[in-house]
Structures are given as C-alpha cells and as structure tokens.
Amino acid sequence: MRDTLPYFLGIDVSTTATKALLIDASGQVAAVAATEYPFETPRPLWSEQHPRLWWDGAQQSIRAALAQAGIDPAQVGGVGLTGQMHGLVLLDEAGEVLRPAILWNDQRTQAQCDEIHRRIGRERFIQITGNVALTGFTAPKILWVKENEPEVYAQAAHILLPKDYVRYKLTGEFGMDKADAAGTVLMDLKARGWSEEVLTALEIPRAWMPPLYEGPQITGRLTPQAAAVTGLKPGTPVMAGGGDQAAQAVGVGAVTEGIVALTLGTSGVVFATANGAFIEPEGRLHAFCHSVPGKWHLMGVMLSAAGSLRWYRDTFAPAVGFDELLAPASEIAPGADGLLFLPYLTGERTPHPDPLARGAFVGLTVRHTLPHLTRAVLEGVAFGLRDSFELMKSSGLGEIRQVRVSGGGAKSPFWRQILADVFGCELVTVNTTEGAAYGAALLAAVGAGTYESVEAACRSVIQVTGSTAPHAEQVGAYEALYPLYRGLYPALTPTFHALRGEDDSHPRSP
C-alpha cells in the first residue's frame, strides 16, 4: 500500500528560506513547506546570515511538511541536503558558531583573492581547483577572517558550508559533499579531495576541513535531540546531497554527458555534466564535482537573464503583462531589424567576470518600436547564455544533444524557440519543477537503496513534457548575428569602466 512505502525528505537551505520537500518512493511530491528569513548587509559589500536561522527554519519546515503529508515519521527513509553554496560557517572546538556566516554574495574579499593568486599562481590555482579565486567563494573569506578578525580565527576548529551546519545539527557529525566542497576552491578537483597544496599555501589547517562524501552517501543519522525538535525518527539516515546547482541538475535529470540544464531565472545558469574534470584554461567557467558519484560539471553564470526582461518590462511597459508584451515581438524577424541588446545590467560573471559591465541597446533607429526592443532583449539574453555553451565546447566537452530548461523565463514558448535557434539544439521541459530540494530528495532515495544509481532514479521519475526544436532558417540568421554580439563587450568595456558610478560599491547576486 502507498502509505507503507518509504518517503524521502529534501532540505534546501537557501539565502531567503529553508524548504522541506517530501517525495514518495515513485518520485511524486507529497508535501512542500518553507520558512523564510532575512540576510544582513551590515556594511557596503557585506552579506551575512546567522546559521541559527537555517536550523530554526529546518525544524519548522520539516514539521510542516510531515503534517501536510500526514505520514508516520518512521516512513521517512532518508534525508538529503542542498542549499546556497560558498558561505563560510566557522565553528569552535565545541561546535558553537563563532560569527555570522559570510554568504556567497558577499564582495569584501577582492584583496584576498589577489593574495591567493599571488601565493599559488593564477594558472596553477585554476589547474588545481578548476576555478579562479572569486569573491563569492569560501577560501578568500577564510583569509579575510584571519586578517581582520584574528580573535575569531584563533578559536576556529571547523569549517562548514550552510547546508552542512544543518547536517551537523541533525546528526552531530561534520561532513560535506564533494559538489559543494568544490565551490570552496580548496579541493583538488581531479582527485575529488581536499588539496594539501592549496591548504598549505593558504595556511588553513587540514584538521578544520570535514570528511568528504559523494552525493548519495550516508553521512550520519538523526540524533534523539534532533528528532525531538523536527518530528523525524531517531536514526533516520542523512545523505550528503549537494550544492544547490548540482542538486537542481539532479532534479531535472541533467546527470549524463550531452544533457545540459539551463535555469532561466533572474540569473541564468548553464550546467553541463562531464565524465572528467574538464577545466576552462582561463577559469571563465566554473568547474566543480557533481552530486553524481564520479562525475563533474561545468557551469556558466549570467547575472541578468530573465532579470533583464523584468527590468525592461517594469521600465518601459509596467502596466503590460509578459504574454501581452512578448506577443507582438514574435512578428519581428530575427535580429530585430539591426538592433542588439547587451544584458549586463548588474555586471557579468560568464564569460566576462566584470562587475562594471553594463547593459546597452546598440543599433537603435527611429524605425524601431517597442516590439523590436522586446525581441532584442530576448535575443540578447540568448546570446549571452550561448557564451557559456561555446566555452564548454572549447573546453573539450562532448556534443550537447539536449537542453533541459526550467525557471520563470522558460514558461514562454516564444523565448524557448529563440533559445533553441540561438543554441542550435533541442530544448525540452520536464515534469519536475521543485528544483534543488527535489534533487536532494532523489539523492536520499538513491542512498537508501530505492534506486540503484542517480542516473536510474532520474530515468525512473523525470519525464520530458515538451520539446522545442531549432528552425534551420533562424539558426542561420543567428549564426550571422552572434559574432556581432560577441564584439560588443570588448568594444564598450573602456566606456563601461569610465562610467563607474556610486552604486558599484554594492554587492551583486551571482
């Protein structure tokens, strides 16, 4: 009977809320609950959050999900964890939090990034970790605390990421999955373990770093104390899980080479699974371990994807719905009659890690109307996302056969068609829409033995619900336009940097 089958819990510790999602053994969502909380910006460039918010949110959301599903807690066969990446959680020897966590969107550490490259060498650092040192990552945050808060640093004994603090509260165990750990830039990416060379060069004690696990592995079991406050059963296994992007990819089935996940939200993320540790030589793509055991991934991040369309609508047609805004743009030919849009409204990350990059319409004439501008915005975002695809291809990744698209922007059939035409490959939608929390729950189901592998789990529960094939004629039109788009950033960069304004001291989301 259904009510005797196991359920699996995915917990997503995001920047704004902790979500708890229950699925049954067939992958059907049984309950979803979320508890919201704020983050603080005590100074310009800073972004912090106290870990107790995540643990309080987890307790509330787990209890709410169990009540919503109406199941016996003994039926929960495992818990998977996911959440915001890169945040620094420092604990003392007793496991007490030493200071608020420094989050992924904190921008205070540029000097420490430069110091990391100085100590190790930029090229060597890329070859070890798969990435350049960026302000969002964990390693420069550790150096910042050492240099600016020595009294805190002197008490440190454990380094965790946000979801792993919740793991510690659930199990009493320190642990971290390899996908999220790769985002600390303290790992040897190819060896899938902590890098002794990087830790030694940065003078970070190896003893501070927790054991590493593959995504479905059991990292501990629920303590009686955690069971009492969450409503779960003592001894329930807690699996490693993954950082939010890796778990999101599991949630849409992007777990084999050739299938790429595209998240078209406020920001845009292009995520490609790889069977080897492909590293972009200049570090323009992020290279991390995957939540799938023995696999890696490449990731490109665009800061203003659907966010560009929202800004455009709110600024030029605030009373118009998105469907109404986009409909007349579909009557405009590809290329919007010689109009291009550069979507760097909040700076950029891939392929140009430049906080001073700016947006622009280029080619405006009196013949251009609102529908022309609308189409140019949609095409500009598509071109910007294609930049990540091109970098992935040049890094040695195999053929991209299919793009699995999700997020608010993916709801538009017109925009999906533009994306398929610009990329020159099929775009599909799938039946799962709960993202990272769903992926974490699937990883728990794999770890509990319900599925023999992550790939098998995805084949079983994730189905394609729609397909958009590229149109050959429009593919050709965009092939001619794409080099023109690519030329805009280098041509306009001196102007962007000369126009630096007061707002450039504020942090930006990646």
Burial class (CB in 10 A: 0-12, 13-18, 19+), 216: buried
Residues 130 and 420: their CA atoms lie apart, in Å, by 29
Name the token pair of 474.
């429009």
Instruction: Identify the active-site residue in 24, 106, 177, 244.
Output: 244
310/318 Cα distance (integer angstroms)? 9
Give, in order, the Cα–Cα distances in Å from 69 to each of 13, 17, 63.
Answer: 20, 20, 10
Beta pairing partners, 188:
193
| DSSP 8-state assignment for residue 36 | E
Please state the separation of Cα 415 from the chain's center in Å: 22
By CB atoms closer than 10 A (0-12, 13-18, 19+), residue 418 is buried
Paired strand residues for 238: 79, 220
Tokens at residue 283, please?
């570090």
**How far apart are alpha carbons 249 and 240 in whole angstroms?**
15
Helix (H), strand (E), coil (C) string for 221-273: ECCHHHHHHHCCCCCCEEECCEEHHHHHHHHHCCCCCCEEEEEECCCEEEEEE
Which amino acid, 407?
G
Q: Nearest to residue 111, comparing CAs of 85, 126, 138, 133? A: 133
Q: Name residue 363's amino acid.
A: G
| 359 neighbors 341 (Cβ within 8 angstroms) | yes
Alpha helices for 306-435 (secondary structure H): 306-316, 322-326, 370-394, 413-423
Active site residue 504: no
Side chain identity, residue 507: P
Q: Compute CA distances 128 → 122, 125, 473, whole Å.
A: 10, 5, 43
First to last CA, the chain: 45
CA gap 139, 184 in Å, rounded: 6
Residue 265: other Cβ atoms inside 10 A: 15
Residues labelled as active-site residues: 244
